[in-house]
Amino acid sequence: MNIAVIGTGYVGLVSGICYAELGNTVICVDKDPFKISTLQNGGIPIYEPGLEELSAKNVAAGRLSYTSDLQAAVREAELVIIAVGTPPLPSGEADLAYIDAAALEIAEALPAGAIVAVKSTVPVGTNERVRDLIRSRTDAPFSSVSLPEFLREGSAIRDTMEPDRVVIGSESREAAEKVAELHRPLTDKIMITDLRSAELLKYASNAFLATKISLINEIANICEKVGADVTQVAEGMGFDRRIGPAFLQAGIGYGGSCFPKDTRALIQIAGHVEYDFKLLRSVVEVNREQRFNVIRKLETIFGGELRGKTVAVWGLSFKPNTDDVRESPALEIMRHLVDVGVHVRAYDPVATPNFRSAFGDKGVVWCEGALEAAAGADALCLLTEWEEFAGADLRQLQSVMSRPILIDGRNVFREEDLAGTAFIYYSIGRPSLNQGVREKIPILQY
Ligand SMILES: NC(=O)c1ccc[n+]([C@@H]2O[C@H](COP(=O)([O-])OP(=O)(O)OC[C@H]3O[C@@H](n4cnc5c(N)ncnc54)[C@H](O)[C@@H]3O)[C@@H](O)[C@H]2O)c1
Ligand SMILES: O=c1ccn([C@@H]2O[C@H](COP(=O)(O)OP(=O)(O)O[C@H]3O[C@H](CO)[C@@H](O)[C@H](O)[C@H]3O)[C@@H](O)[C@H]2O)c(=O)[nH]1
């Protein structure tokens, strides 16, 4: 199939490369000339494990190319996939400006009989809006398809090549079948729905996962008060097949370009039809609060006075294996620390450049290595569970710090890692691992 993918961000680029890997002829389009020249020169503008090699392989095979000429790419396409951003507006609603602009540009070159698929996460009704926008500019017959994407950053290639399911929303059975055929080599779990159900299903999935995370974070907060261990609680819950073990990792809350944006957008979608999505509003609020768990722990340890302290931060991306810092919990945590007069020393294996552009340099020393960041620190906060941190030698770490205080925001370390160290250690929802701080587990009376 001849495919044009509009937008070479985390979704469009991975999808385009993977469609080429399946043997299709793919041209990936972006309006950002830096991204396109990087790609044309064999580079990859984002950090995603395995992507550079897969791109090179498919470019060499003559199946994959990159361009900033949208209309030339669309003119040859049987399938045009829109994968541009839908960032949040201040109200929380999805900003459809990039979608609309792409639709209007596509219309100028769309060949008769093509399929236009929206892969971006969009509010219910957007595929119809895109269809009508294109129709207003061309007489060429075409079909609209909603093709929501479920990949995760950091494991994007595997998620694309081995998806749990592919959802195709369409008004045209014939178009849906053609798009289904494209995905048949990946999975037999292909679901064809109407346009609106496909659109809502994407938001509902993210809302459910975000809810699971906020639930386990609240359980973790209760664990801290009653002397239970959230990792044991989550493990036991996860054995129940109705619950499942995934997305029950307590920590400092979810970040990233999707859960925070999509939960707020769904609240707005509901609001537009006068439905107050109370549950999801609480999920968002719990998540916002959870980031400050780390700060509260630091305040407890330092008796409320953080000014003048030096705090090392390990991990700036919103999750490991990505350089994406959009809505990373580290942004708010570090902003608070800097605002109250803490000297911050920060390190991330790949995300520092993106983080610096989002955060600025005020109050932060950017470090090239984990131990360099910890050197002379009064406390260390681990905010992203990069493998490099999980493998750290805690005795060596202790030897470079001014005070052995470790706040593990992702529950990375185990009891055996801490053995033989003098760390004052706090994690999330595992009070029995707290070391060095004598906290009384209350006698429970009801
Ligand atoms: N990031 C994820 O893990 C993920 C997963 C599933 C779904 N989604 C959804 O997919 C969409 C894209 O997300 P992303 O993270 O890839 O975004 P992104 O911001 O990384 O990339 C979007 C790209 O589109 C380009 N673009 C915008 N308008 C264009 C136009 N008219 N012509 C050509 N290029 C244009 C931008 O320059 C940018 O490179 C969003 O709706 C998002 O919610 C994202
Ligand atoms: O048990 C867990 C699982 C995740 N997280 C956090 O949740 C956020 C999101 O993680 P993850 O879902 O792995 O990454 P994303 O790349 O944001 O992927 C989500 O958002 C995408 C965009 O919509 C969807 O396509 C994916 O299916 C969905 O998992 C990160 O901050 C994680 O640290 C937790 O705190 N606990």
154 contacts: CB under 8 Å, gap ≥ 6: 48, 49, 319, 320, 321, 322
Question: Is 335 annotated in some ligand binding site?
Answer: no
* Pocket lining: 247 vs ligand 2, CB cutoff 6 Å: yes
Nearest Cα to Cα of residue 397 among 337, 314, 297, 333: 314
Query: Which SS3 state, helix, strand or coil, does residue 166 take?
Result: strand
Pocket test of ligand 1: the residue of 257, 264, 323, 324 to mutate, having most ligand atoms within 8 Å of its CB, is 257
> Which residue in this structure is represented by tokens 């929380």?
92
65: left (phi over 0), alpha (psi -120 to 50) or beta: beta
Kindly state whether residue 42 falls inside one of the protein's structural domains.
yes
CB distance 22 to 161 below 8 Å: no
Q: How confident is the model at residue 58, as a pLDDT?
A: 98
Q: Is residue 446 part of a domain?
A: no
Residues 186 and 328 placed together within one structural domain of the fold:
no
Q: Are residues 189 and 208 in the same domain?
A: no
Q: What is the pLDDT of residues 347-372, one digit of tens each?
A: 999 999 999 999 999 999 999 999 99
Q: Is 15 in the same domain as 147?
A: yes
At 435, phi and psi to the nearest 5?
Answer: -115, 150
- Work out the angle at residue 333's Cα, subtended by the Cα atoms of residues 360 and 323, and round it to the nearest 5 degrees: 60
DSSP state of 169: E
Does 441 map to a domain? no
Rounded distance from Cα 259 to ligand 2 centre (Å):
7
Task: Tell me what the mean pLDDT of segment 321-350 comes to.
Answer: 97
**HEC string of 267-279?**
HHHHHHCCCCCHH
pLDDT exceeds 90 at position 65? yes
Same-domain status, 85 and 117? yes
Question: Full-prediction pTM beyond 0.90?
Answer: yes
Residues 141 and 208 in one domain: no
Indicate the residue among 193, 211, 233 that finishes a domain.
Answer: 193
Per DSSP (E only), the strands in 112-269 are 114-118, 142-146, 166-170, 190-193
Range of the domain at 83: 2-193
What is the CATH number for 338? 3.40.50.720
Residue 132 placed within a domain: yes
Residues 182 and 245 in one domain: no
Work out the percent of the chain whose per-residue pLDDT is above 90.
Answer: 95
The answer to whether position 33 is within a domain reads: yes
Within-domain flag for 267: yes
Same domain, 127 and 218: no
What CA–CA distances, in Å, run from 90 to 86, 151, 238, 330? 13, 26, 36, 21
DSSP-derived letter for residue 96 is -
Token duo for residue 250: 């307590």
Per-residue pLDDT reduced to its tens digit, 3-62: 999 999 999 999 999 999 999 999 999 999 999 999 999 999 999 999 999 999 999 999
Q: Which helix (H) or strand (E) holds 408?
A: strand 405-408
Find the catalytic residue in 18, 258, 367, 381: 258
Q: Is residue 440 part of a domain?
A: no
Active-site residue flag, 258: yes
Domain assignment present for 442: no
Q: For residue 273, give every residue at least 6 positions away whose Cβ sits within 8 Å of its Cβ, in sequence order, or none.
A: none
The CA distance from 230 to 233, in Å, is: 5
Query: Count of domains in the chain?
Result: 3
Q: In the structure encoding, which two tokens stand for residue 200, read together? A: 């809502």
Task: Tell me if 396 sits within 8 A of 420, measured CB to CB.
Answer: no
- Is it the case that residue 441 has pLDDT exceeding 80? no
Model pLDDT for residues 201-212, shown as the tens digit of each residue? 999 999 999 999
Residue 249 known to bind ligand: yes
- Name the DSSP class of 140: S
Question: Are 36 and 113 contained in the same domain?
Answer: yes
Instruction: Please identify, among 170, 193, 216, the residue that sits at the C-terminal boundary of a domain.
Output: 193
Both 71 and 164 in one domain: the answer is yes
User: Do 371 and 278 reside in the same domain of the chain?
Assistant: no
Contact 308, 331 (CB under 8 A): no
Q: What is the mean pLDDT of residues 175-193?
A: 98
**Residue 320 CB less than 6 A away from ligand 1:** no
pLDDT band at 438 (very low <50, low <70, confident <90, very high): very low
| Pocket-testing residue among 149, 324, 354, ligand 1, by greatest number of atoms within 8 A of Cβ | 149
User: 230-238 and 195-226 helices cross at what angle (nearest 10)?
Assistant: 140
The residue-averaged pLDDT of 309-333 equals 97
Q: What is the DSSP string of 324-389?
A: --TT-HHHHHHHHHHHTT-EEEEE-SS-HHHHHHHH-STTEEE-SSHHHHHTT-SEEEE-S--HHH
- 255 in a known ligand binding site: yes
Residues 211 and 187 in one domain: no
298-305 contacts, C-beta under 8 A, 24 or more apart: 298/379, 298/381, 298/407, 300/437, 301/379, 301/405, 301/424, 301/426, 301/437, 302/378, 302/379
Q: Cα angle vertex 338, ends 332, 343, to 5°? A: 130
Closest C-alpha residue for ligand 2 atom 36: 249
What percent helix, strand, coil does the chain show, rounded to 5? Answer: 45, 15, 40
Q: Quote the ipTM score.
A: 0.98
Q: Which residues contact 289 (CB under 8 A, 6 or more apart)?
A: 253
Looking at residue 208, which CATH number applies to its domain?
1.10.1040.10
Closest CA to 324 of 381, 418, 258, 272: 258
pLDDT score, position 431: 87
Strands 142-146 and 166-170: antiparallel
Q: What is the pLDDT of residue 32?
A: 97
Is the CB–ligand 2 distance for residue 152 below 6 Å?
Answer: yes
Looking at the fold, whether 424 and 310 belong to one and the same domain comes out as yes
Last residue of a domain, one of 193, 226, 245: 193
